[in-house]
Amino acid sequence: MNPVLWMGSARHDVHAFPKDPRQRAGYEIYQIQSGLDPSDGKPMPAVGAGVREIRIHTRLEHRVIYVAEYTEAVCVLHAFSRKTRRTSRSDIDLARSRLRDALAAHRGARNP
């Protein structure tokens, strides 16, 4: 099972979800760690290649953006709730920035 690498405030943000979506997010991340796909996810090419999102539907929409393709870990980039159908530009930009940081850290770990 692959470990989870939480970028920035992503872990805190998932913990801030209400109970049901928080539990669902934990289960979906566990599925990804086990090499399976989330039950409701989609690619996020606007963030970067290999980036996907977990979609959790309640009164609000909850999203967890992650990448599991480049490293030996599931890298959770960003987690947030929203009321609209579109992901805001600021959420995409934050996830993109954290992806750059994760890739730089991964490259640095491989080239000591």
Per-residue model confidence as pLDDT tens digits over 50-87: 999 999 999 899 999 999 876 678 999 999 999 887 89
pLDDT at site 70: 66
pLDDT at site 112: 53
Q: Is the pLDDT of residue 107 over 60?
A: yes
| Distance separating alpha carbons of residues 87 and 67, to the nearest angstrom | 17
| Distance separating alpha carbons of residues 25 and 14, to the nearest angstrom | 7
pLDDT at site 71: 63
Q: Is the pLDDT of residue 93 over 90?
A: yes
Q: What is the mean pLDDT of residues 25-38?
A: 95
| Distance separating alpha carbons of residues 60 and 100, to the nearest angstrom | 28
Collapse the DSSP code of 70 into the 3-class scheme (helix H, G, I; strand E, B; otherwise coil) and give the result: coil
Per the confidence metrics, is the pTM higher than 0.85? Answer: yes
In one-letter notation, the amino acid at residue 21 is P
In total, the chain counts a number of residues equal to 112
In one-letter notation, the amino acid at residue 25 is A
The domain spans of the chain are: 4-110
pLDDT classification of 31: cutoffs 50, 70, 90? very high
User: Strand runs (DSSP E) across the chain, as ranges?
Assistant: 4-6, 41-43, 51-57, 61-67, 74-82
Q: Is the pLDDT of residue 108 over 70?
A: no
Helices (H), 34-110: 89-110
Domain 4-110 has CATH 3.30.2310.20: yes
